[in-house]
């Protein structure tokens, strides 16, 4: 899962980015509204954290431009405690949720998890596919109750497929959601990660759809 943090406070931006990375997310950072708008317009994110009070272009304007261009990515806005009008303006502009400063980063994490789950049609923090269970709260995956020892890339791959269960996901889409904008992306590595995942899982749930990509689905839905 790939997140964009748009926050002009360098320390807060770094704190949010570090916490998200520790939780297993890929993170891109922007420090003003123009840069944030450009990244949100051109890169595929699973969720965006957007400060309202930004230089160059304010957060409400950024959000309005994204929504006006048809960008439906879940957005969590950050607002100042004494500016209730910012919350109203942000929600009216298309924000999915908000957090008031100062906040605990754990709350931001929980809200981001919820936004990504809801966007993918899941109501619980645990996503189950046959014998595989993904706990998005602890960033762990289990098969028949046994925790899998996955690398960060293997977990990101499994998490993205399970959030989009039943859908065919292309290699390029997986690459875009597994690596940040500065990473030297190579879609051929996806095949390696899929092979490792299949071996570690020991169950045949990840289907290769020839010429299109990969799909994970419960056994009773398999064709």
What is the tens place of the pLDDT at every residue in 9-58? 999 999 999 999 999 899 999 999 999 999 999 999 999 999 999 999 99
Sheet holding 2-6, edge to edge: 26-30, 2-6, 47-51, 75-80, 97-101
Task: Region of 71 please: left (phi>0), alpha (psi -120 to 50) or beta.
Answer: beta
Question: How distant, in Å, are the alpha carbons of 12, 28, 49, 77, 86 from that of 18?
Answer: 10, 11, 14, 18, 26
> pTM value?
0.81
| Cα dihedral sign, 183-187-189-190 | positive
Domains annotated for the chain, with CATH where assigned, are 2-120 (3.40.50.2300), 126-216 (1.10.10.10)
Euclidean distance between the first and the last CA atom of the chain, given in angstroms as a whole number = 27
Provide the H-helix boundaries in 48-166.
59-68, 84-93, 105-119, 152-163
What is the tens place of the pLDDT at every residue in 165-182? 999 999 989 988 888 766
């Amino acid at each position: 899962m790939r997140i964009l943090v748009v926050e002009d406070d360098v320390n807060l931006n770094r704190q949010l980015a570090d916490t998200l990375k520790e939780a297993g997310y890929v993170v891109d950072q922007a420090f003003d509204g123009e840069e944030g708008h450009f990244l949100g317009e051109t890169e595929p994110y699973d969720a965006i954290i957007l400060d309202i009070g930004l230089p160059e272009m304010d957060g409400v304007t950024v959000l309005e431009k994204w929504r006006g261009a048809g960008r439906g990515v879940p957005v969590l806005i950050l607002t100042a405690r004494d500016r209730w009008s910012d919350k109203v303006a942000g929600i009216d502009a298309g924000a999915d949720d908000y957090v008031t400063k100062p906040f605990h980063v754990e709350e931001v994490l929980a809200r981001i998890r919820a936004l990504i789950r809801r966007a993918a049609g899941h109501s619980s923090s645990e996503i189950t596919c046959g014998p595989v269970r993904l706990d998005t709260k602890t960033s762990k995956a289990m098969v028949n109750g046994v925790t899998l020892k996955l690398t960060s890339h293997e977990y990101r791959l499994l998490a993205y497929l399970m959030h989009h269960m039943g859908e065919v996901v292309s290699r390029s889409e997986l690459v875009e959601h597994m690596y940040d904008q500065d990473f030297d992306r190579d879609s051929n590595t996806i095949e390696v990660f899929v092979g490792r995942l299949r071996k570690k899982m020991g169950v045949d749930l990840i289907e290769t759809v020839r010429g299109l990509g990969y799909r994970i689905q419960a056994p009773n839905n398999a064709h």
